[in-house]
Structure 1
Amino acid sequence: MRFAYPVGFIGWKFFARLGLPLRVRVFVMYDDEAKVFVATSDDFLPEFGLTVESDTWDGIFKEIRIALEEAEEICLGKTDDKVRLDPVLRPIHQLS
């Protein structure tokens, strides 16, 4: 396991600009009623709230990547390819 600095912790934007890998916690659940996977993260709050959905497992990964690119631009401004956001997926179970 390699080190990645958590997004949302003090100084995360500074470390991002230095090129240190960043860890983003993304919670994923399956909504039985809507028949979609839903992924959320509040690590970027208050600047950016990440919520995406897709009807396939592969699709949710693509949606997460797109949302992370948007979060990078909103929270850090236009950056070079040095910033690396690594999502850590955490499954959550829907309560009945």
Structure 2
Amino acid sequence: MNLHYRLGWPLGRFLARWGVPTTIRLDINHDEEANVFVGTSTDLPGLRVEASTYEDAAREATLRVPDLLRAAGVCRQDAPADFERSL
């Protein structure tokens, strides 16, 4: 059984620093007016991406997550940028 803890839940950042597998919820919505997909996350403040397709928005968010985690102090500056992604 593979347990994960949401980064946005209480103690999420603390547990992530100790190596507990952590998930980040990404919300992607279509902005009809601008005709773009917008990705945000309440678990990781500062994560906001815009792209022309859903897949591109998910891909762009995936690329930005490691830097935002480092900036938030959730992981070490020298931590590898590899992590699992599931949609």
CA displacement, residues 47-82 of structure 1 (integer Å, 9 cap, x when unaligned) = x32111100222112111122112211112514238
Unpaired stretches in structure 1, ≥5 consecutive residues: 90-96
Cα distance in 1 for partners of 2:81, 2:33 equals: 40
CA displacement, residues 9-58 of structure 1 (integer Å, 9 cap, x when unaligned) = 232233222322111111111112211110111213xxx32111100222
The 1:28/1:82 distance shift into structure 2, 3 A limit, reads closer
The 1:72/1:83 distance shift into structure 2, 3 A limit, reads farther
Conservation of the 8 A alpha-carbon contact between 2:62 and 2:85: no
Structure 1 runs, 4 residues or longer, greater than 4 Å off = 82-87
Higher strand share: 1
Aligned to 2:77: 78
Unpaired stretches in structure 2, ≥5 consecutive residues: none
The 1:50/1:82 distance shift into structure 2, 3 A limit, reads closer
The 1:3/1:79 distance shift into structure 2, 3 A limit, reads farther
Root mean square deviation of aligned Cα:
2.6
How do 1:19-30 residues align onto structure 2 when only pairs under 5 Å count? Answer: 19-30=19-30
- How many residue pairs align between the two structures? 85
Of the candidates 54, 61, 64, which is equivalent to residue 61 of structure 2?
64
Conservation of the 8 A alpha-carbon contact between 1:52 and 1:64: yes
Cα distance in 2 for partners of 1:85, 1:12 equals: 17
Normalising by structure 2, we get a TM-score of: 0.74
